[in-house]
Chain A
């Protein structure tokens, strides 16, 4: 197979790309770039992506980075990918582009800032940064509210009122899943007011099983390790440190 996907499953956008490939039966070789071991900084990987971020793909001699660009490329190139992932109709695909763009500076920015500054700092032996976490949480909460009031409006269960998921659902849900590494009660505090978001996450999981669970299994293993560390009083355990580094370097 000629398609190579360079990814770390602790990276939200990496998961979205892997999930898309598996759902659509796209043959690919997954090459793990372990962010906790700084493998994104190696010369070999810099040849693939000079921006030193995952995910990245190589298709023959063609190299590409930025997960949204990758998802659009794969949806456009591979025959047999159902239209709902990335519609041929320009007005429909324009709306998908719209939410994917909004995502960068809103859900992603908020979620990444919050997770880093609340859950991961202690694991690195760094002081908590409650101010930065609070700022991140504000943006995250505002973004979740906008998903409910704008992006999930319409007849269907998915973003943009669609009856079936698109690449935008994969991208945004994989982002929210990163909250699994945060303390349970904090995660509940943030997500509980957003019942419509919780339903949408469940619908997306249901529409993409069994691959969704399999692709997220690493995240859940790390979540369990972190939980243990917290109940033991916290500290820079190896697992916690690896998550921290992964999240810090994952396309920030």
Chain B
């Protein structure tokens, strides 16, 4: 049964799914649906996802959106996926659900809010909002601290103290990687204090090499493009 993935590599949750598929040898057709070109608003895409957001999948006649669900569905529906991605044990699985849920209103809200209001809005033809960016940065920093003090506690290098990565590691690390599109000094200010986070990102990258780097190869280009847009926006 054919799997189609509708995505935009600038979308953090899209990248998590791409890495998961490639790391697990899941065959799929990538249908680029670029937000900056407003392709997510086309009537054709609305048939796939009436919420008009990426990522979304079509698997045979089954359609699904919301990236955590897509990751869970792929981990459950495809044979041969190693258990550590989405454990069968009810308690281990519950912990994965817990961090994925926490992510929505914490790391994602903080990080996406910060990046949007300090840079990405320009790419969508919208003005920057430094006040909103500052508020979001507070939540982002608090979330990074919580990941270090709570979610990364345990014996192993991954979330929930696991020895090997789960879908939660992909979702959260891809979110943090969005900060790669920010200026170097902003990145340093936000991530610099969090050595444990930086190590965890490295560990996740290594566990999913070479796909992680390949899928994130868009980030330096994005950084350059946003830098140029900021320069233009600051001209009178």
Contact = CB atoms under 8 A, between A and B. Distances in A.
14 contacts: A65-B102, A66-B97, A66-B98, A72-B97, A73-B97, A76-B90, A76-B93, A90-B76, A91-B73, A94-B72, A101-B68, A101-B104, A105-B109, A150-B51
Interface string B52-83: 00000000001011101100110011000000
Interface string A60-91: 00101111111011001100000000000011
A50 B150 contact: yes
Nearest to B68: A101
Given A51-B146, A146-B51, A66 B102 contact: yes
Given A68-B101, A95-B69, A252-B105, 16 more contacts: A50-B150, A62-B91, A64-B91, A66-B97, A67-B101, A69-B100, A72-B97, A73-B93, A77-B90, A90-B76, A90-B77, A91-B77, A98-B69, A102-B51, A105-B108, A105-B109
Contacts of B97: 66, 68-69, 72-73
A150 B93 CA distance: 28
Contacts of A77: 90
Interface in B109-143: 109
B50 interface: yes
A104 interface: yes
Given A73-B90, A73-B91, A97-B66, A104 B76 contact: no
Nearest to A150: B50
Nearest to A94: B73
Contacts of A104: 101, 104-105
Nearest to B77: A90
Given A73-B91, A77-B90, A101-B69, A94 B64 contact: yes
A109 interface: yes
A98 B94 contact: no
Interface of A: 50-51, 62, 64-70, 72-73, 76-77, 90-91, 94-95, 97-98, 101-102, 104-105, 109, 146, 149-150, 252
Q: Give the residue among A62, A91, A150 with the most B Cβ atoms within 10 A.
A: A91
Contacts of B90: 73, 76-77
B-side binding surface: helix, strand, loop or mixed?
helix
Nearest to B50: A150
Q: Give the residue among A50, A51, A101, A149 with the most B Cβ atoms within 10 A.
A: A101
Contacts of B91: 62, 64, 73
Contacts of A98: 64-66, 69
A72 B94 contact: yes
Contacts of B101: 66-69, 104
B95 interface: yes
A65 B103 CA distance: 13
A149 B104 contact: no
Contacts of B68: 97, 101
Contacts of B150: 50-51
A90 B76 CA distance: 7
B98 A69 contact: yes
B102 A51 contact: yes
B11 to A, nearest CB: 14
A102 B94 contact: no
A101 B98 contact: no
Contacts of B94: 64, 69-70, 72-73, 76
Nearest to A146: B51
Given A64-B98, A146-B51, A105 B105 contact: yes
A154 B100 CA distance: 28
Nearest 4 interchain pairs by C-beta: A69-B97, A104-B104, A66-B101, A73-B94
